[in-house]
Structure 1
Amino acid sequence: MTTTRGSLWRQVVGGVGRLADLGVQSTDSSQERAAKTALTLAALLLGSFAGVWTLVYLLNGLTAAWVITLVYQVSLLLALGHFALTKRFAVFRLASLSLHLVTPIAVQVALGGFHPSSGVALWSLVAPLGALLAYGSRESLRWFAAYVVLVGGSVAVDAWGITSGVHVPTATVAIFFVANICGVSAVVFMLVRYFVRERERAIRVLAEQHALLAEEQRRSEGLLLNILPAPVAERLKQRDGIIADRLPDVSVLFADIVGFTELSERWPPERIVEMLNGLFTAFDELADSWGLEKIKTIGDAYMVAGGLHVRQPEHTAAVAHMAFAMQQEAHRQRASAGFALELRIGIAVGPVVAGVIGRHKFAYDMWGDTVNMASRMESTGTVGSIQVSGAVYERLRADFCFEQRERVLVKGKGEITTYILLGERSVTTARAVTQPWK
């Protein structure tokens, strides 16, 4: 039985909710929807109460009163029907609030004043309250002023001793006082409760949308940080315009997979991409661990730099350590790669120009003699070696061991002296270096 009653109650509430939404459109904002539903609900509630009052007035022979309430019901029904068909809220708002305001006053006058009518004029309070919901705080003041004027005017019926000539029994007056006070209170409470509930729902929806927006912003910032160094990404978010810097001391590393071109002609594309993704993802993690910045990949070439925007006095040493770690990672992945994975690595240090290029598919890049030198160190290096410029050698010679190469012909530089980075002194000084780097 309890389950049946609960189901029936849910059906009733659902039916009333559907009726209250008869004028709502999909394009309405949450505030518009709440106002439309509140006024429609008020019309349904007051129309229902008016039906009871019409019957009571009719049974007590109060002709003028029941005719007024009947006209009120019919007018409300027509207004609701027009609103449901046309969705013209402005017309329904004005019509329904006017009926709520005038009808109780008219009934009070017809019954001979405030006392004989049991204070039925209190029902007019629904009009300024509805105006507050439907029009807003400023416009509702006019409706409240009209309510005060009409109620004050109706009290003149008592003051001047004007009567309708109809006698209403004392017991009926008392019962109606209770009914009017409770009825008005119930309608006002339900309207305010509904509006507060809608506001809370709107706040929840807004909070959910804000959370989704914040999550989307975090994802966007994450994607931005995957493309740009963090300080550059922050500058890009704060202002438009060209972002370019002249950086006086940057260590640049280029690495290239030996024999990749021939390999790409034999392997299927899925295997090539899988191999590159596995290797370069590991390189990305190494760059993060050493506080370095991945700049880009070009085919099978990987470029990383240190000393860009974060104070890092030992960035050249960090790049050197990463170079050794990259070699170790390449050797570790030989089994999964299915061939003898070897790298050529080149390192240079010096000034560069760096900035963001492009508007849609933008990228952070760097240019200058240091970048060119690092690229040449890689391309003229030997398989499995880390070739560095003279500037890198001078900076790291106290802590790392090197092997000087024979002079190397470098495009744009002629023949220059380069060095092969062998390892830290604590590791390499204990063993003799016998491999010739030619």
Structure 2
Amino acid sequence: MSELQAGVDAVNLLRNIGVGIAIADAGDWTVSFENAKFFQWFPSEEDVDAPIPQRIPGFDAAAAVSRMESGRNYKLEGETKGEGRRTPFRLSVSKIAETDPPTVLVECYDVSKERQAEYMLESYSGIAERRTKELEREKARVERLLLNIMPKTVYEELKDYGTTTPQRFDAASILMLDFVGFTNMAISHDPGALVSELNDIFSAFDRIVEMFNCERLRTVGDSYMAISGLPDPSPDHTQNIAKVALRMRRYLERRNTAHSHQWTCRIGINTGPVIGSLVGVQKYVYDLFGPGVNLAARMESMSEPMKITLCKETYETIKDDFVFTERGDFEIKGFGTKQLYFLEGEGTRRLG
């Protein structure tokens, strides 16, 4: 093959490849050769002999010369300015002949697919980030719901192992509360307003329970059950549940002075052995069983409006820290005869 034929073939190759190619003079940046792709991307709009800096957006001739004098290529990224859809490009200028001024090769590559891949990657990354945040929010919501029905330590065990082990507590304190005449209230009052008021009251009870490191175990209808001394043992669990009972009653007394709708409660407290366990397969409920719970329920049913009732065994535990009124002996179903007391307040003065 002759040198002439080889040169012709090389020129034809440059004209037809998908890369924009131009050869220019680095002095005035006039183009001596350009292929169709380069002309398509960077047309001469007015002057057919327009130099490279006028045809390529953002081209810095001085920076290009400086880079090549230091032995490096000048690089630029941007978008073509031809008619129709703009094409993102990556451009490289390199010295190909040590003439004066130097002859340079301008290579321009279409990076549309690369940019599209970057955009898709960013888009997928954004979607994944949003999904992760949604999952985190859902996880937090589920955690809040579970913590509403079980103590935190039980929840942690369930989360770590997928199951929980029933535990026996030799001494825990239980509070039972319900409202006097709630059935009639439910019939005679607007249901929405009644539930709203009950929700306000139970929310206040929750705050009181939390103040003394106790746990709200459950609410069923108008009944409220709180516990102290489990699952984390506390030497002051009986004192704490007594303080909770007194503050619940005080809250209702103050609320009743400011509202026309009066709420009257009965409260029973008891200290005794219980078993705590998570029950259910699809719907979890943390519940307590045992004589300690049963006797607390009996104390609540034996109590009187706006009174707090407890038996002698619980009284003996906290008698030096609170004020009591002796009620006498009562027959308690399942427990025989027991001496009962009203818890009146904090202090050491005994009432007759």
Match of 1:225 in 2: 147
* CA shift for structure 1 position 266: 2.4
Please identify, of 412-421 and 367-376, the stretch whose mean Cα deviation from structure 2 is larger. 412-421
Q: Deviations over 1:14-64 (max 9, x none)?
A: xxxxxxxxxxxxxxxxxxxxxxxxxxxxxxxxxxxxxxxxxxxxxxxxxxx
Any conservation in 2 of the 1:114–1:121 contact (CA below 8 Å)? no
* CA shift for structure 1 position 380: 0.8
Match of 1:214 in 2: 136
1-side partners of 2:206 and 2:137: how far apart? 24
1:330 to 252, 255, 267: 252
Query: Looking at both structures, which has the greater relative contact order when contacts are Cα pairs under 8 Å and sequence separation is at least 6?
Result: 2
* CA shift for structure 1 position 314: 1.0
Match of 2:345 in 1: 423
Equivalent pairs, count? 274
1-side partners of 2:33 and 2:192: how far apart? 88
Match of 1:381 in 2: 303
Any conservation in 1 of the 2:174–2:293 contact (CA below 8 Å)? yes
* CA shift for structure 1 position 122: 6.2
Match of 2:109 in 1: 186
1-side partners of 2:295 and 2:16: how far apart? 93
2-side partners of 1:319 and 1:412: how far apart? 23
From the superposition, tell whether residues 111 and 409 of structure 1 become closer, same or farther in structure 2 (CA, over 3 Å). Answer: farther
Any conservation in 1 of the 2:326–2:351 contact (CA below 8 Å)? no
Q: Deviations over 1:175-225 (max 9, x none)?
A: 3499499797421x3332332232122212221221222122112211221
2:216 aligned with 1:294: yes
2:10 aligned with 1:115: yes
2-side partners of 1:233 and 1:241: how far apart? 9
Q: Aligned with 2:305: secondary structure?
A: coil
* CA shift for structure 1 position 336: 5.6
* CA shift for structure 1 position 118: 4.2
* CA shift for structure 1 position 264: 2.7
Amino acid of the residue matched to residue 340 of structure 2? T
2:327 to 383, 405, 418: 405
* CA shift for structure 1 position 229: 1.3
Q: Aligned with 2:323: secondary structure?
A: strand
2:183 aligned with 1:272: no
Any conservation in 1 of the 2:176–2:224 contact (CA below 8 Å)? yes
Match of 2:265 in 1: 343
From the superposition, tell whether residues 379 and 193 of structure 1 become closer, same or farther in structure 2 (CA, over 3 Å). Answer: same
1-side partners of 2:162 and 2:278: how far apart? 11
Match of 1:175 in 2: 34
From the superposition, tell whether residues 114 and 200 of structure 1 become closer, same or farther in structure 2 (CA, over 3 Å). Answer: farther
2:161 to 239, 245, 248: 239
TM-score, scaled to structure 2: 0.69
* Structure (1/2) with the larger strand percentage: 2
2-side partners of 1:266 and 1:404: how far apart? 36
Where does the alignment leave 5 or more consecutive residues of structure 2 unmatched? 20-30, 40-90, 93-105
Any conservation in 1 of the 2:176–2:223 contact (CA below 8 Å)? yes
Any conservation in 2 of the 1:115–1:173 contact (CA below 8 Å)? no
Identity %: 30
Q: Aligned with 1:186: secondary structure?
A: strand
2:157 aligned with 1:259: no
Any conservation in 2 of the 1:245–1:354 contact (CA below 8 Å)? yes
Q: Deviations over 1:286-328 (max 9, x none)?
A: 1112111111122222110011122422111111111010101
Match of 1:433 in 2: 351
* CA shift for structure 1 position 243: 4.1
From the superposition, tell whether residues 382 and 208 of structure 1 become closer, same or farther in structure 2 (CA, over 3 Å). Answer: same
From the superposition, tell whether residues 111 and 287 of structure 1 become closer, same or farther in structure 2 (CA, over 3 Å). Answer: farther
* Structure (1/2) with the larger helix percentage: 1
From the superposition, tell whether residues 337 and 259 of structure 1 become closer, same or farther in structure 2 (CA, over 3 Å). Answer: farther
Amino acid of the residue matched to residue 149 of structure 2? I
* CA shift for structure 1 position 269: 2.1
1-side partners of 2:7 and 2:34: how far apart? 17
2-side partners of 1:328 and 1:298: how far apart? 22
Match of 1:161 in 2: none
* CA shift for structure 1 position 366: 0.6
1-side partners of 2:235 and 2:6: how far apart? 95
Any conservation in 2 of the 1:290–1:318 contact (CA below 8 Å)? yes
From the superposition, tell whether residues 175 and 278 of structure 1 become closer, same or farther in structure 2 (CA, over 3 Å). Answer: closer
2:315 aligned with 1:393: yes
Amino acid of the residue matched to residue 186 of structure 1? Y
2-side partners of 1:116 and 1:275: how far apart? 89
Q: Aligned with 2:334: secondary structure?
A: coil
Where does the alignment leave 5 or more consecutive residues of structure 1 unmatched? 1-109, 125-171
1-side partners of 2:142 and 2:9: how far apart? 66
Amino acid of the residue matched to residue 175 of structure 1? E
From the superposition, tell whether residues 185 and 260 of structure 1 become closer, same or farther in structure 2 (CA, over 3 Å). Answer: same
Any conservation in 2 of the 1:387–1:418 contact (CA below 8 Å)? yes
Any conservation in 1 of the 2:275–2:288 contact (CA below 8 Å)? yes
From the superposition, tell whether residues 185 and 383 of structure 1 become closer, same or farther in structure 2 (CA, over 3 Å). Answer: same
Q: Aligned with 2:306: secondary structure?
A: coil
Q: How does 1:39-118 map to 2 (within 5 A)?
A: 115-118=10-13
Match of 2:125 in 1: 203
1:414 to 330, 336, 344: 336
Q: Aligned with 2:133: secondary structure?
A: helix
User: Runs of 4+ in structure 1 displaced over 4 angstroms?
Assistant: 110-114, 118-124, 177-184
The CA RMSD measured in Å over matched residues stands at: 3.0
TM-score, scaled to structure 1: 0.56
1-side partners of 2:116 and 2:196: how far apart? 58
Any conservation in 2 of the 1:117–1:173 contact (CA below 8 Å)? no
